[in-house]
Structure 1
Amino acid sequence: MRYILAIALSVFVTSLSAQEKQFPKDETGKFIYYKVVDSLILSKTVLLERAKNFVVSTNKKTMKLESSTDTSILAKGKMIIDKTTLVAGHPSGEVSYDFVFEARAGKYRYWLTNFVFIPYQRDRYGNFVPKTTVGSPLEKSADKLNAGSWKDIQTSTYAKVAKFGDSFKKFLATDKKNSEPVKKETVSTKKW
């Protein structure tokens, strides 16, 4: 009975780990998150304007605009990777990336690549700061001792990047300029 339970448990664990999303690799062997989206409603100039607004105003602390042309936007960014143990969590490091956006008539594409992980450590004041300025490419393989934690970092990065991609697509699909606050009328007690 124990052997059957152990076999069923191992099959469940392997199927669960197979369901985790992972980054595909591009032609140079680097991890990439690549999406092509059809957008027949919005013109190329509107898409570029909204993408630039997303990079410059929405994510000004985490992204920096590198260059912008009439068809593309290049930016560099970083995201904090959290490590959760039971209830409390703390940042385990940051992942820097390159963001590229290109627009054409009727569709656009974007991708994130060149992921580099920089681990964090606590300083003497209790703040989490980068341990080093030199990072490790996310696609590198880890040794047996650190393989589990490296896999967790890759999985957490993919989840954050997928969430970033969803918010980016949502931002491009909605017009944020039309959402002005409604002016409230003041109540006058002098007139009846």
Structure 2
Amino acid sequence: MKKIMFVLPLLVFSLGAFSQTNALPMDERGKYTFLEVAELPLVKKEVMSANAKRFFKGYSKAIKLSSSEGDTAFYGKGKMVLNKSLVGVGHPTGEAKYNISLELRNGKYRLILTDFMFTPYERDRYGNFVPVAVSTALEKSPGKLNNTEWEKNVSSIAGESRKIADKLKTMMSNTVKDPKPETKKPAAISTTKW
């Protein structure tokens, strides 16, 4: 009886852990969309605009800013590489391209990642992982054979989107418009004492 009382809570908690998924919701157009609205009441709109520009400049390799509407909206395209890892050894499984939009208001901002296009990677004759020529929209559901791989890709994209949102939130929570990096003066060298 004691064993059953010990195993039963473990079973219930483990089933609860498996039921938590990181899936992306669909919007009204039928596209997978990552949406985050964050309120930052202490940060002014001008400071948020400077922080947004700094965010896009800092991640210029992964996110390309294509247009902006003044200091209130920023639009661009991005790319994330999805990795498959087993005990420290991993390889890329594919890349996902997406559209990003960041809209600012006083005290809050809205981040939208949408229009995900997945391009799988395959190993070429030199052992490098390169993208395949065919990209598919994330909304296009695969058949029964590739369903588990597709679900892993969707959850991986959701996780990477969450990382982007967290990086943006830490960048936007800065309350100083242009933070100055601390510069250290080089130590004065005395040529008379030695």
* TM range, smaller chain: 0.7 to 0.9
AA aligned to 1:182 is: K
Percent identity among equivalent residues?
40
CA distance in 1: counterparts of 2:88 and 2:145, whole angstroms? 25
Quote the offset at 1:112 in angstroms: 0.6
Shift in CA distance, 113/146, structure 1 to aligned 2, threshold 3 Å: same
Letter in 2 for 1:179: P
Q: Distance in 2 between matches of 1:107 and 1:86?
A: 40
- The two structures have a TM-score, normalised by structure 1, of 0.85
- What is residue 140 of structure 2 aligned with on the other side? 140
Cα displacement (A) at 1:12: 6.8
Rounded Cα–Cα distance in structure 2 between residues aligned with 1:121 and 1:100 = 30
Q: Write out aligned runs for 1:85-164 (5 A).
A: 85-132=86-133, 134-164=134-164
Counterpart AA for 1:98 = N
Give the 4+ runs in structure 1 shifted more than 6 A.
8-13
The residue number in structure 2 matching 1:185 is 187
Displacement of 1:107 after TM fit?
1.4
Partner of 2:155: helix, strand, or coil? helix
Structure 2 residue 62 is the aligned partner of structure 1 residue 62: yes
Q: Which residue of 1 aligns with 2:166?
A: 166
Deviations 1:90-135 (A, max 9, x none): 0010000111011111211111111110001122222211111x31
Report the Cα distance in structure 2 between the residues aligned to 1:20 and 1:190, rounded to whole angstroms: 68
CA distance in 2, matches of 1:33, 1:49: 23
How far apart, CA to CA, are the structure 2 residues paired with 1:85 and 1:146? 20
Rounded Cα–Cα distance in structure 2 between residues aligned with 1:107 and 1:10:
41
Count residues in correspondence.
184
Shift of 1:184: 3.3
- Partners of 2:63 and 2:54 lie apart in 1 by 11
Greater length-normalized contact order (CA 8 Å, ≥ 6 residues apart): 2
TM-score normalised by L of structure 2? 0.84
Q: 1:186 and 1:128 mapped to 2: Cα distance? A: 51
CA RMSD of aligned residues (A): 2.3
> What residue ranges of structure 2 are gaps of 5+ in the alignment?
none
CA distance in 1 between counterparts of 2:183 and 2:126 reads 41
> Matches of residues 42-57 of structure 1 in structure 2 within 5 Å?
42-55=43-56, 57=57
Q: CA deviation at 1:183?
A: 2.3
